[in-house]
Chain A
Protein backbone atom coordinates (compact mmCIF):
# COMPACT_ATOMS: atom_id res chain seq x y z
CA UNK A 1 0.00 0.00 0.00
CA UNK A 2 1.39 3.39 -0.96
CA UNK A 3 0.04 6.93 -0.77
CA UNK A 4 -0.17 8.98 -3.94
CA UNK A 5 -1.10 12.64 -4.04
CA UNK A 6 -3.02 13.19 -7.26
CA UNK A 7 -4.58 16.56 -8.09
CA UNK A 8 -4.50 17.57 -4.42
CA UNK A 9 -6.13 14.41 -3.06
CA UNK A 10 -4.26 11.61 -1.30
CA UNK A 11 -5.09 8.09 -2.44
CA UNK A 12 -4.05 4.90 -0.69
CA UNK A 13 -3.48 2.29 -3.32
CA UNK A 14 -2.13 -1.23 -3.51
CA UNK A 15 0.57 -1.50 -6.20
CA UNK A 16 2.99 -4.10 -7.50
CA UNK A 17 6.67 -3.11 -7.10
CA UNK A 18 7.16 -3.24 -10.88
CA UNK A 19 4.06 -1.26 -11.77
CA UNK A 20 4.45 2.02 -13.64
CA UNK A 21 2.95 5.27 -12.44
CA UNK A 22 0.98 5.46 -15.72
CA UNK A 23 -0.63 2.08 -15.11
CA UNK A 24 -1.55 2.86 -11.51
CA UNK A 25 -3.06 6.24 -12.41
CA UNK A 26 -5.08 4.90 -15.31
CA UNK A 27 -6.05 1.38 -14.26
CA UNK A 28 -6.16 1.51 -10.47
CA UNK A 29 -7.17 5.13 -9.81
CA UNK A 30 -9.18 5.56 -13.01
CA UNK A 31 -7.58 8.78 -14.26
CA UNK A 32 -8.46 8.06 -17.87
CA UNK A 33 -6.80 11.25 -19.09
CA UNK A 34 -3.49 9.43 -18.58
CA UNK A 35 -3.07 7.75 -21.95
CA UNK A 36 -0.89 4.68 -22.33
CA UNK A 37 0.48 4.17 -25.80
CA UNK A 38 4.13 3.40 -26.61
CA UNK A 39 5.22 2.67 -23.02
CA UNK A 40 8.76 3.55 -24.06
CA UNK A 41 8.89 7.27 -23.30
CA UNK A 42 8.76 8.20 -26.97
CA UNK A 43 5.20 9.40 -27.58
CA UNK A 44 4.47 11.57 -24.53
CA UNK A 45 0.80 10.61 -24.24
CA UNK A 46 1.23 9.43 -20.62
CA UNK A 47 2.73 12.77 -19.56
CA UNK A 48 1.75 13.99 -16.09
CA UNK A 49 3.23 16.72 -13.93
CA UNK A 50 5.39 15.57 -11.04
CA UNK A 51 6.00 18.46 -8.65
CA UNK A 52 5.07 20.72 -11.56
CA UNK A 53 7.44 19.17 -14.10
CA UNK A 54 6.27 17.06 -17.04
CA UNK A 55 7.41 13.42 -16.95
CA UNK A 56 6.55 10.31 -18.93
CA UNK A 57 4.66 8.34 -16.30
CA UNK A 58 5.20 5.10 -18.26
CA UNK A 59 8.94 5.17 -17.51
CA UNK A 60 8.77 5.45 -13.76
CA UNK A 61 7.58 3.22 -10.97
CA UNK A 62 4.47 4.25 -9.06
CA UNK A 63 6.70 3.77 -5.97
CA UNK A 64 8.89 6.64 -7.16
CA UNK A 65 5.95 9.08 -7.07
CA UNK A 66 5.29 8.63 -3.37
CA UNK A 67 5.55 11.97 -1.58
CA UNK A 68 5.36 13.95 -4.84
CA UNK A 69 2.53 16.09 -6.17
CA UNK A 70 1.04 14.50 -9.26
CA UNK A 71 -1.14 16.51 -11.65
CA UNK A 72 -3.16 14.84 -14.38
CA UNK A 73 -5.45 16.54 -16.89
CA UNK A 74 -8.34 15.86 -14.50
CA UNK A 75 -6.67 18.32 -12.12
CA UNK A 76 -6.86 21.25 -14.54
CA UNK A 77 -10.43 22.09 -15.46
CA UNK A 78 -13.88 20.55 -15.41
CA UNK A 79 -16.40 20.24 -18.26
CA UNK A 80 -18.25 23.28 -16.89
CA UNK A 81 -15.20 25.26 -15.99
CA UNK A 82 -12.36 24.70 -18.43
CA UNK A 83 -8.81 25.80 -17.76
CA UNK A 84 -7.71 28.69 -20.03
CA UNK A 85 -5.23 26.37 -21.77
CA UNK A 86 -8.07 23.94 -22.54
CA UNK A 87 -10.19 26.82 -23.90
CA UNK A 88 -7.30 27.93 -26.08
CA UNK A 89 -6.90 24.41 -27.54
CA UNK A 90 -10.61 24.33 -28.41
CA UNK A 91 -10.56 27.81 -29.96
CA UNK A 92 -7.51 27.07 -32.11
CA UNK A 93 -8.52 23.46 -32.83
CA UNK A 94 -5.24 22.26 -31.36
CA UNK A 95 -6.21 18.59 -31.80
CA UNK A 96 -8.19 16.21 -33.94
CA UNK A 97 -8.69 12.85 -32.24
CA UNK A 98 -7.57 14.18 -28.84
CA UNK A 99 -5.52 11.17 -27.77
CA UNK A 100 -2.27 13.10 -27.25
CA UNK A 101 -4.00 16.25 -25.98
CA UNK A 102 -3.97 15.69 -22.17
CA UNK A 103 -0.19 15.25 -22.18
CA UNK A 104 0.36 18.21 -24.45
CA UNK A 105 -1.81 20.46 -22.30
CA UNK A 106 0.13 19.45 -19.18
CA UNK A 107 3.47 20.17 -20.88
CA UNK A 108 1.99 23.51 -21.98
CA UNK A 109 1.06 24.32 -18.39
CA UNK A 110 4.61 23.63 -17.21
CA UNK A 111 6.05 25.67 -20.08
CA UNK A 112 3.86 28.73 -19.51
CA UNK A 113 4.57 28.74 -15.78
CA UNK A 114 8.28 28.91 -16.51
CA UNK A 115 8.11 31.02 -19.65
CA UNK A 116 4.83 33.01 -19.93
CA UNK A 117 5.71 34.47 -23.36
CA UNK A 118 7.31 31.71 -25.44
CA UNK A 119 8.26 32.04 -29.09
CA UNK A 120 6.88 29.44 -31.53
CA UNK A 121 10.31 27.77 -31.50
CA UNK A 122 10.33 27.61 -27.72
CA UNK A 123 6.86 26.05 -27.83
CA UNK A 124 8.04 23.46 -30.36
CA UNK A 125 11.06 22.61 -28.19
CA UNK A 126 8.95 22.31 -25.05
CA UNK A 127 6.54 19.97 -26.85
CA UNK A 128 9.22 17.96 -28.67
CA UNK A 129 8.47 14.97 -26.45
CA UNK A 130 4.92 14.63 -27.77
CA UNK A 131 3.78 12.88 -30.91
CA UNK A 132 0.47 13.87 -32.53
CA UNK A 133 -0.42 11.26 -35.11
CA UNK A 134 -3.17 13.51 -36.53
CA UNK A 135 -0.41 16.00 -37.32
CA UNK A 136 -2.13 18.96 -35.69
CA UNK A 137 1.24 20.54 -34.83
CA UNK A 138 0.70 24.03 -36.37
CA UNK A 139 -2.63 24.32 -34.55
CA UNK A 140 -1.08 23.06 -31.32
CA UNK A 141 1.57 25.78 -31.45
CA UNK A 142 -1.11 28.41 -32.12
CA UNK A 143 -3.14 27.03 -29.20
CA UNK A 144 -0.19 27.42 -26.84
CA UNK A 145 0.44 31.00 -28.00
CA UNK A 146 -3.27 31.74 -27.52
CA UNK A 147 -3.17 30.16 -24.06
CA UNK A 148 -0.24 32.41 -23.14
CA UNK A 149 -2.36 35.45 -24.03
CA UNK A 150 -5.36 34.17 -22.08
CA UNK A 151 -3.27 33.53 -18.97
CA UNK A 152 -1.68 36.97 -19.26
CA UNK A 153 -5.09 38.66 -19.41
CA UNK A 154 -6.44 36.77 -16.44
Chain B
Protein backbone atom coordinates (compact mmCIF):
# COMPACT_ATOMS: atom_id res chain seq x y z
CA UNK B 1 0.00 0.00 0.00
CA UNK B 2 1.42 3.39 -1.00
CA UNK B 3 1.78 5.88 1.82
CA UNK B 4 -0.78 8.66 1.79
CA UNK B 5 -0.06 12.29 2.54
CA UNK B 6 -1.16 15.83 1.87
CA UNK B 7 0.89 17.72 -0.68
CA UNK B 8 2.19 21.21 0.04
CA UNK B 9 4.08 23.39 -2.39
CA UNK B 10 5.81 26.41 -0.83
CA UNK B 11 7.31 28.85 -3.34
CA UNK B 12 9.88 30.56 -1.12
CA UNK B 13 12.31 29.41 1.60
CA UNK B 14 10.39 31.62 4.08
CA UNK B 15 7.12 29.93 3.25
CA UNK B 16 8.75 26.50 3.65
CA UNK B 17 10.09 27.60 7.04
CA UNK B 18 6.62 28.72 8.10
CA UNK B 19 5.14 25.37 7.13
CA UNK B 20 7.89 23.58 9.07
CA UNK B 21 7.23 25.84 12.07
CA UNK B 22 3.54 24.94 11.92
CA UNK B 23 3.78 21.18 11.31
CA UNK B 24 7.26 20.16 12.56
CA UNK B 25 7.85 16.45 12.06
CA UNK B 26 4.39 16.01 10.59
CA UNK B 27 5.77 17.58 7.40
CA UNK B 28 8.66 16.02 5.52
CA UNK B 29 10.64 17.82 2.85
CA UNK B 30 10.68 16.39 -0.67
CA UNK B 31 13.66 17.36 -2.83
CA UNK B 32 14.51 15.03 -5.73
CA UNK B 33 12.31 12.36 -4.18
CA UNK B 34 14.43 9.42 -5.28
CA UNK B 35 14.70 8.15 -1.70
CA UNK B 36 11.32 9.38 -0.41
CA UNK B 37 9.38 7.88 -3.31
CA UNK B 38 10.79 4.47 -2.45
CA UNK B 39 9.58 4.90 1.13
CA UNK B 40 6.21 5.98 -0.22
CA UNK B 41 6.01 2.91 -2.45
CA UNK B 42 6.80 0.62 0.47
CA UNK B 43 4.25 2.37 2.67
CA UNK B 44 6.82 3.62 5.18
CA UNK B 45 6.58 7.35 4.45
CA UNK B 46 4.67 8.17 7.60
CA UNK B 47 4.37 11.95 7.60
CA UNK B 48 1.04 13.67 7.17
CA UNK B 49 2.42 16.36 4.87
CA UNK B 50 4.82 16.18 1.98
CA UNK B 51 6.56 19.51 1.58
CA UNK B 52 7.69 19.77 -2.06
CA UNK B 53 10.70 22.09 -2.21
CA UNK B 54 11.22 21.71 -5.97
CA UNK B 55 9.24 24.84 -6.80
CA UNK B 56 11.55 27.11 -4.79
CA UNK B 57 14.07 28.57 -7.25
CA UNK B 58 16.06 30.21 -4.42
CA UNK B 59 17.12 26.75 -3.23
CA UNK B 60 18.66 25.80 -6.57
CA UNK B 61 21.95 27.56 -7.33
CA UNK B 62 25.67 27.06 -7.74
CA UNK B 63 27.83 30.08 -6.93
CA UNK B 64 31.55 29.83 -7.46
CA UNK B 65 33.17 32.56 -5.40
CA UNK B 66 36.81 33.37 -4.68
CA UNK B 67 36.67 31.99 -1.12
CA UNK B 68 33.97 29.40 -1.34
CA UNK B 69 31.58 27.41 -3.43
CA UNK B 70 27.91 27.76 -2.48
CA UNK B 71 25.42 25.14 -3.59
CA UNK B 72 21.66 25.21 -3.09
CA UNK B 73 20.22 22.01 -1.60
CA UNK B 74 17.84 21.53 -4.54
CA UNK B 75 20.71 21.47 -7.05
CA UNK B 76 20.54 18.19 -8.94
CA UNK B 77 23.42 15.76 -9.28
CA UNK B 78 23.22 16.38 -13.03
CA UNK B 79 23.81 20.12 -12.54
CA UNK B 80 26.90 19.31 -10.46
CA UNK B 81 28.07 16.79 -13.04
CA UNK B 82 27.92 19.54 -15.69
CA UNK B 83 30.04 22.05 -13.77
CA UNK B 84 32.66 23.26 -16.22
CA UNK B 85 35.33 24.74 -13.93
CA UNK B 86 38.66 22.92 -14.05
CA UNK B 87 39.43 23.48 -10.40
CA UNK B 88 40.56 20.54 -8.22
CA UNK B 89 37.71 21.05 -5.73
CA UNK B 90 35.05 21.12 -8.40
CA UNK B 91 36.53 18.22 -10.32
CA UNK B 92 36.32 16.13 -7.13
CA UNK B 93 32.60 16.95 -6.85
CA UNK B 94 32.02 16.25 -10.55
CA UNK B 95 33.99 13.00 -10.32
CA UNK B 96 32.00 11.82 -7.30
CA UNK B 97 28.60 12.71 -8.71
CA UNK B 98 29.29 11.02 -12.04
CA UNK B 99 29.81 7.73 -10.16
CA UNK B 100 26.40 7.95 -8.47
CA UNK B 101 23.25 6.06 -9.56
CA UNK B 102 22.07 6.48 -13.17
CA UNK B 103 21.70 9.39 -15.63
CA UNK B 104 17.91 9.50 -15.13
CA UNK B 105 18.22 9.52 -11.34
CA UNK B 106 20.93 12.19 -11.47
CA UNK B 107 18.41 14.46 -13.22
CA UNK B 108 16.10 14.11 -10.19
CA UNK B 109 18.29 13.47 -7.14
CA UNK B 110 19.63 16.51 -5.29
CA UNK B 111 22.66 17.26 -3.15
CA UNK B 112 20.42 18.30 -0.24
CA UNK B 113 18.37 15.13 -0.50
CA UNK B 114 21.48 12.96 -0.53
CA UNK B 115 22.69 14.67 2.67
CA UNK B 116 19.36 14.88 4.53
CA UNK B 117 18.40 11.26 3.86
CA UNK B 118 21.53 10.61 5.95
CA UNK B 119 22.35 7.21 4.56
CA UNK B 120 25.68 6.08 6.02
CA UNK B 121 26.63 5.20 2.42
CA UNK B 122 25.74 8.54 0.82
CA UNK B 123 28.67 9.43 -1.44
CA UNK B 124 28.26 13.20 -1.12
CA UNK B 125 28.18 13.06 2.69
CA UNK B 126 31.60 11.41 2.73
CA UNK B 127 33.05 13.76 0.11
CA UNK B 128 31.64 16.96 1.58
CA UNK B 129 32.94 16.17 5.07
CA UNK B 130 36.39 15.72 3.53
CA UNK B 131 35.95 19.09 1.79
CA UNK B 132 35.14 20.67 5.18
CA UNK B 133 31.71 21.79 4.01
CA UNK B 134 29.17 23.59 6.18
CA UNK B 135 25.40 23.28 6.05
CA UNK B 136 23.14 26.34 6.28
CA UNK B 137 20.02 25.49 8.21
CA UNK B 138 16.87 27.56 8.05
CA UNK B 139 13.83 27.84 10.32
CA UNK B 140 11.25 30.54 10.87
CA UNK B 141 13.42 31.89 13.71
CA UNK B 142 16.51 32.34 11.53
CA UNK B 143 19.49 30.66 9.95
CA UNK B 144 22.34 28.75 11.56
CA UNK B 145 25.46 27.02 10.27
CA UNK B 146 26.72 23.57 11.13
CA UNK B 147 29.80 21.77 9.83
CA UNK B 148 28.57 18.73 7.90
CA UNK B 149 30.88 16.69 10.09
CA UNK B 150 28.39 17.34 12.93
CA UNK B 151 25.27 17.12 10.75
CA UNK B 152 24.84 13.35 10.83
CA UNK B 153 23.75 11.81 14.11
CA UNK B 154 22.83 8.25 13.10
CA UNK B 155 21.44 6.06 10.35
CA UNK B 156 18.94 8.31 8.51
CA UNK B 157 19.21 10.84 11.33
CA UNK B 158 20.48 14.41 11.21
CA UNK B 159 20.95 17.30 13.61
CA UNK B 160 18.02 19.13 11.99
CA UNK B 161 15.39 20.18 14.53
CA UNK B 162 11.82 19.45 13.60
CA UNK B 163 11.16 23.01 12.41
CA UNK B 164 14.37 23.25 10.36
CA UNK B 165 15.52 22.33 6.88
CA UNK B 166 18.81 22.45 4.98
CA UNK B 167 18.91 25.68 2.97
CA UNK B 168 22.47 25.76 1.62
CA UNK B 169 25.86 24.11 1.45
CA UNK B 170 29.07 26.07 1.64
CA UNK B 171 32.43 24.60 0.68
CA UNK B 172 35.56 26.63 1.46
CA UNK B 173 38.15 26.93 -1.30
CA UNK B 174 41.37 25.93 0.47
CA UNK B 175 43.96 28.67 0.86
CA UNK B 176 46.76 26.07 0.87
CA UNK B 177 47.77 23.77 -1.99
CA UNK B 178 45.32 20.88 -1.70
CA UNK B 179 44.54 17.56 -3.36
CA UNK B 180 41.11 15.93 -3.08
CA UNK B 181 40.04 12.44 -3.93
CA UNK B 182 36.99 10.21 -3.66
CA UNK B 183 36.65 6.48 -4.24
CA UNK B 184 33.85 4.01 -3.83
CA UNK B 185 33.11 0.38 -4.35
CA UNK B 186 29.64 -1.01 -5.06
CA UNK B 187 28.09 -4.22 -6.29
CA UNK B 188 26.80 -2.60 -9.49
CA UNK B 189 26.98 0.84 -11.07
CA UNK B 190 23.47 1.64 -9.85
CA UNK B 191 23.75 0.40 -6.29
CA UNK B 192 24.74 2.53 -3.32
CA UNK B 193 28.30 2.14 -2.06
CA UNK B 194 29.39 -0.86 -0.05
CA UNK B 195 32.19 1.39 1.19
CA UNK B 196 33.38 4.83 0.15
CA UNK B 197 36.25 7.09 1.16
CA UNK B 198 37.25 10.69 0.59
CA UNK B 199 40.51 12.44 1.35
CA UNK B 200 41.60 16.05 1.37
CA UNK B 201 45.32 16.76 1.83
CA UNK B 202 46.69 20.29 2.14
CA UNK B 203 50.33 21.33 2.44
CA UNK B 204 51.81 24.60 3.70
CA UNK B 205 54.57 26.59 1.96
CA UNK B 206 57.18 24.17 3.35
CA UNK B 207 55.38 21.13 1.96
CA UNK B 208 54.18 20.00 5.40
CA UNK B 209 50.76 18.27 5.52
CA UNK B 210 48.32 20.39 7.53
CA UNK B 211 44.94 19.18 8.86
CA UNK B 212 44.49 16.13 6.61
CA UNK B 213 40.91 14.90 6.34
CA UNK B 214 40.31 11.20 5.79
CA UNK B 215 36.62 10.30 5.73
CA UNK B 216 35.08 6.83 5.47
CA UNK B 217 31.49 6.03 4.50
CA UNK B 218 29.23 3.01 5.00
CA UNK B 219 31.45 1.66 7.79
CA UNK B 220 29.60 3.24 10.75
CA UNK B 221 26.13 4.70 11.42
CA UNK B 222 27.38 8.00 9.97
CA UNK B 223 30.37 8.90 7.79
CA UNK B 224 33.42 9.05 10.09
CA UNK B 225 36.80 10.74 10.04
CA UNK B 226 39.68 8.40 10.76
CA UNK B 227 41.57 10.36 13.37
CA UNK B 228 44.28 7.69 13.57
CA UNK B 229 45.02 7.82 9.83
CA UNK B 230 44.88 11.63 9.86
CA UNK B 231 47.34 11.75 12.76
CA UNK B 232 49.75 9.49 10.89
CA UNK B 233 49.94 11.96 7.99
CA UNK B 234 49.69 15.24 9.88
CA UNK B 235 52.90 17.28 10.08
CA UNK B 236 54.76 15.03 7.62
CA UNK B 237 56.58 16.56 4.68
CA UNK B 238 54.69 15.49 1.58
CA UNK B 239 57.80 14.30 -0.27
CA UNK B 240 58.51 11.88 2.61
CA UNK B 241 55.14 10.15 2.37
CA UNK B 242 56.18 6.76 1.02
CA UNK B 243 54.36 3.50 0.33
CA UNK B 244 54.98 2.25 3.88
CA UNK B 245 53.35 5.29 5.45
CA UNK B 246 50.37 5.11 3.07
CA UNK B 247 49.95 1.39 3.85
CA UNK B 248 50.08 2.20 7.56
CA UNK B 249 47.48 4.99 7.17
CA UNK B 250 45.21 2.56 5.31
CA UNK B 251 45.50 0.04 8.15
CA UNK B 252 44.74 2.71 10.74
CA UNK B 253 41.68 3.79 8.75
CA UNK B 254 40.44 0.18 8.60
CA UNK B 255 40.93 -0.09 12.39
CA UNK B 256 38.73 3.00 12.90
CA UNK B 257 35.89 1.45 10.84
CA UNK B 258 32.94 -0.05 12.73
CA UNK B 259 30.97 -1.66 9.91
CA UNK B 260 27.94 -3.93 10.02
CA UNK B 261 27.12 -6.90 7.80
CA UNK B 262 24.12 -6.46 5.52
CA UNK B 263 22.87 -7.58 2.12
CA UNK B 264 25.56 -5.55 0.37
CA UNK B 265 28.67 -6.71 2.20
CA UNK B 266 29.99 -8.52 5.26
CA UNK B 267 31.53 -6.44 8.03
CA UNK B 268 35.00 -8.00 7.58
CA UNK B 269 34.94 -7.26 3.89
CA UNK B 270 33.90 -3.66 4.50
CA UNK B 271 36.67 -3.20 7.06
CA UNK B 272 39.31 -4.56 4.70
CA UNK B 273 38.11 -2.65 1.64
CA UNK B 274 37.82 0.57 3.60
CA UNK B 275 41.57 0.38 4.31
CA UNK B 276 42.24 -0.17 0.61
CA UNK B 277 40.03 2.75 -0.45
CA UNK B 278 41.61 5.04 2.15
CA UNK B 279 45.05 4.11 0.81
CA UNK B 280 44.05 4.69 -2.82
CA UNK B 281 42.42 8.01 -1.98
CA UNK B 282 45.54 9.17 -0.17
CA UNK B 283 47.69 8.15 -3.14
CA UNK B 284 45.40 9.96 -5.55
CA UNK B 285 45.27 13.09 -3.39
CA UNK B 286 49.07 13.22 -3.36
CA UNK B 287 49.20 12.83 -7.15
CA UNK B 288 46.66 15.65 -7.52
CA UNK B 289 48.52 17.80 -5.02
CA UNK B 290 51.68 17.40 -7.05
CA UNK B 291 49.84 18.16 -10.27
CA UNK B 292 50.63 14.70 -11.66
CA UNK B 293 46.93 14.10 -12.39
CA UNK B 294 43.91 16.36 -12.46
Q: Which residues of A contact B (CB under 8 A)?
A: 16-18, 20, 39-42, 44, 47, 50, 53-56, 58-61, 63-64, 67, 107, 125-126, 128-129
Instruction: Check A63/B7 contact, CB under 8 A, given A17-B50, A41-B34, A42-B190.
Output: yes
In the complex, the answer to whether B4 meets A18 with C-beta atoms within 8 Å is yes
Measured between alpha carbons, how far is A56 from B33 in the docked complex, in Å? 11
Measured between alpha carbons, how far is A24 from B48 in the docked complex, in Å? 22
Contact of A40 among B3, B5, B38 (CB under 8 A): B38
In the complex, the answer to whether A54 meets B34 with C-beta atoms within 8 Å is no
In the complex, the answer to whether B37 meets A54 with C-beta atoms within 8 Å is no
In the complex, the answer to whether A41 meets B7 with C-beta atoms within 8 Å is no
Q: Which chain B residues border A63 with CB–CB below 8 Å?
A: 7, 9, 52
- B177: interface (CB < 8 Å): no
In the complex, the answer to whether B33 meets A128 with C-beta atoms within 8 Å is no
Q: Which chain A residues border B30 with CB–CB below 8 Å?
A: 61, 64
Q: Which chain B residues border A67 with CB–CB below 8 Å?
A: 55
Extra inter-chain contacts (13) besides given A41-B104, A58-B37, A128-B190, CB under 8 Å: A17-B4, A47-B104, A53-B107, A55-B107, A56-B108, A59-B34, A60-B33, A60-B108, A61-B33, A107-B103, A128-B189, A129-B102, A129-B190
Main secondary structure of the interface of A (DSSP, over half): mixed
Nearest residue (CB) in B for A63 is B7
List 25 A-B pairs, Cβ < 8 Å.
A18-B4, A39-B41, A40-B41, A41-B37, A41-B101, A42-B190, A53-B107, A56-B102, A59-B33, A59-B34, A59-B37, A59-B38, A59-B105, A60-B33, A61-B30, A61-B50, A61-B52, A63-B9, A63-B52, A107-B104, A128-B102, A128-B103, A128-B190, A129-B101, A129-B190
Chain B interface, number of residues (Cβ within 8 angstroms): 28
Contact of B104 among A40, A55, A61 (CB under 8 A): A55
In the complex, the answer to whether A18 meets B103 with C-beta atoms within 8 Å is no
- Tell which of A16, A20, A47, A61 has the most Cβ of chain B within 10 Å: A61
- B60: interface (CB < 8 Å): no
- B119: interface (CB < 8 Å): no
In residues 74-116 of chain B, which contact A (Cβ within 8 Å)? 78, 101-105, 107-108
In the complex, the answer to whether A64 meets B33 with C-beta atoms within 8 Å is yes
In residues 1-15 of chain B, which contact A (Cβ within 8 Å)? 2-7, 9
In the complex, the answer to whether A18 meets B3 with C-beta atoms within 8 Å is yes
Nearest residue (CB) in A for B189 is A128
- B40: interface (CB < 8 Å): yes
Instruction: Check A129/B54 contact, CB under 8 A, given A59-B37, A61-B37.
Output: no
A128 to chain B, nearest CB (A): 6
B263 to chain A, nearest CB (A): 15
Contact of A53 among B33, B37, B78, B189 (CB under 8 A): B78
In the complex, the answer to whether B103 meets A126 with C-beta atoms within 8 Å is yes
1/0 per position for B1-45, CB-CB distance to A under 8 A?
011111101000000000000000000001001100110110000
